[in-house]
């Protein structure tokens, strides 16, 4: 059964001056997107108030989808930028995906007080203070990705791509391997070197990469395949230029980074020796570093450009030859609450953010020699509103 798109007349381009500091569609920004899609879902549902977390492409805003609605936060400085909490119009929300810093956001209902079907994606215009678009599907929506010209919707066995926000049209639908975690990543910018959609491949442990450069209604290119792991894929990330994809399996011990053009592995990184559930993988905006969070309560930071900065086992220096001994370990790490799902992202000046479903916000600074110091800690649900709104 195909999805049905209820599209209003073409939306005007996002304008400047909204509560979310809207930017024109010609502006381009400089990092990859981060969200909570994946194994984190189960941990999220165990929380009473926060159901989902996501960040915009610039890592300058994050959204908390909650039982009471949605709150949008500015990262630097940390403050509330917008609140959607009308129980009659909004209800409880499971997914909130921001479109850069524009007035548009994609919402999917979920939780104990939902007002809408979890099979629908609703586009909220914060300038008009109303929903302006609804996309309805045949099963529960597990994830939504947005960029300047596309909206991607993930069901358990299908991925749909629409033109967005102008002249909303379905471009294509792809049947996928069973994807209960709703895994899917997309290069966030139309100016990216490669325009890619990444999702679990038909074979266990593989990743499909689909070129989005030239997509017309009813047409899509054949995806290329990367054999990444032997076990099922559990976490994915694409850098902002679309040249690198990072993957991890359900084992959660190794993170592998691949060149998307050559389909060759660039580096293999070891999170740890014991199995773990990975919540988030994110590239720095220059792709020099990678950050990983898991249910072990440790956030790991790896070097990608200068991999000699990563730690090695001391046994490797005395001639032991073994995959484990030869592994590259994180150059720096810090701890948060164990089994507390969080999203991570890089900020300016080698800063790393960890935003957790328990309502805590952590900011650390790391150094190439492995130093890692906490810069700030807040309970973001308690921070004040932005007085400038």
Please spell the DSSP secondary structure of 302-364, one letter per residue: EESSSGGGSB--GGGGGT---TTTT-EE-SEEEE--TT--EEEEEETTTEEEEEETTSEEEEE
Number of domains making up the chain: 1
Residues 319, 331: Cα–Cα separation, whole Å: 22
pTM: 0.85
CATH of the domain at 201: 2.130.10.10
Task: Give the pLDDT score at 46.
Answer: 42
**How would residue 35 be classed by pLDDT, with cut points 50, 70 and 90?**
low
Residue with tokens 């050559």: 262
**How would residue 38 be classed by pLDDT, with cut points 50, 70 and 90?**
low
Kindly report the length of the chain.
389
Asked if residue 7 is part of any domain, the answer here is no
**How would residue 40 be classed by pLDDT, with cut points 50, 70 and 90?**
very low
Asked if residue 325 is part of any domain, the answer here is yes
**How would residue 306 be classed by pLDDT, with cut points 50, 70 and 90?**
very high
Least confident range from 75-84, 99-108, 158-167, 261-270: namely 158-167
Least confident range from 44-53, 132-141, 217-226, 306-315: namely 44-53
**Tokens, residue 236:** 């994915």
Asked if residue 358 is part of any domain, the answer here is yes
Residue with tokens 């929380």: 47
What SS3 string covers 18-75?
CCCCCCCCCCCCCCCCCECCCCHHHHHHCCCCEEEEEECCCCCEEEEEECCEEEEEEC
Asked if residue 16 is part of any domain, the answer here is no
Domain interval for residue 350: 24-382
Asked if residue 170 is part of any domain, the answer here is yes
pLDDT digit string (tens) for 63-102?
999 999 999 999 999 999 999 998 888 999 999 999 999 9
Residues 222, 306: Cα–Cα separation, whole Å: 34
Asked if residue 2 is part of any domain, the answer here is no
């Amino acid at each position: 059964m195909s999805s049905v798109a209820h599209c209003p007349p073409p939306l005007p381009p996002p304008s400047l001056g909204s509560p979310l500091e809207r930017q024109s569609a010609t502006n381009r920004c400089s990092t990859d997107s981060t969200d909570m899609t994946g194994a984190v879902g189960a941990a999220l549902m165990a929380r009473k108030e926060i159901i989902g977390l996501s960040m915009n492409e610039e890592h300058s805003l994050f959204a908390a989808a909650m039982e009471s609605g949605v709150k949008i936060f500015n990262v630097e400085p940390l403050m509330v930028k917008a609140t959607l909490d009308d129980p009659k119009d909004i209800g409880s929300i499971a997914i909130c995906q921001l479109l850069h810093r524009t007035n548009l956001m994609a919402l999917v209902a979920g939780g104990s007080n939902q007002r809408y079907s979890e099979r629908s994606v609703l586009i909220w215009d914060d300038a008009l203070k109303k929903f302006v678009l609804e996309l309805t599907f045949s099963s529960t929506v597990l994830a939504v990705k947005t960029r300047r010209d596309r909206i991607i919707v993930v069901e358990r066995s299908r991925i749909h791509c629409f033109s967005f926000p102008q002249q909303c049209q379905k471009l294509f639908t792809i049947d996928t391997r069973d994807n209960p975690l709703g895994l899917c990543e997309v290069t966030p910018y139309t100016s990216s070197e490669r325009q890619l959609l990444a999702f679990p491949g038909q074979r266990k442990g593989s990743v499909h990469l689909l070129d989005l450069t030239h997509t017309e209604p009813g047409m899509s290119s054949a995806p290329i395949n990367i054999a990444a792991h032997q076990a099922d894929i559990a976490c994915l990330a694409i850098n902002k230029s679309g040249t690198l994809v990072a993957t991890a399996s359900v084992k959660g011990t190794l993170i592998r980074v691949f060149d998307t053009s050559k389909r060759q592995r660039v580096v293999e990184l070891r999170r740890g020796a014991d199995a773990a559930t990975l919540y988030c993988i994110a590239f720095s905006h220059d792709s020099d570093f990678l950050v990983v969070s898991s249910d072990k309560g440790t956030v790991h930071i790896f070097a990608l450009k200068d991999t000699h900065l990563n730690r090695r086992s001391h046994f490797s220096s005395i001639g032991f030859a073994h995959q484990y001994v030869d592994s590259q370990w994180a150059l720096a790490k810090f701890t948060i609450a164990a089994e507390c799902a969080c999203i991570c992202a890089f900020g300016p000046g080698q800063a790393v953010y960890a935003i957790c479903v328990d309502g805590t916000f952590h900011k650390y600074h790391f150094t190439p020699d492995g130093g890692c110091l906490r810069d700030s800690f807040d309970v973001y649900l308690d921070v004040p509103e932005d007085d400038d709104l």
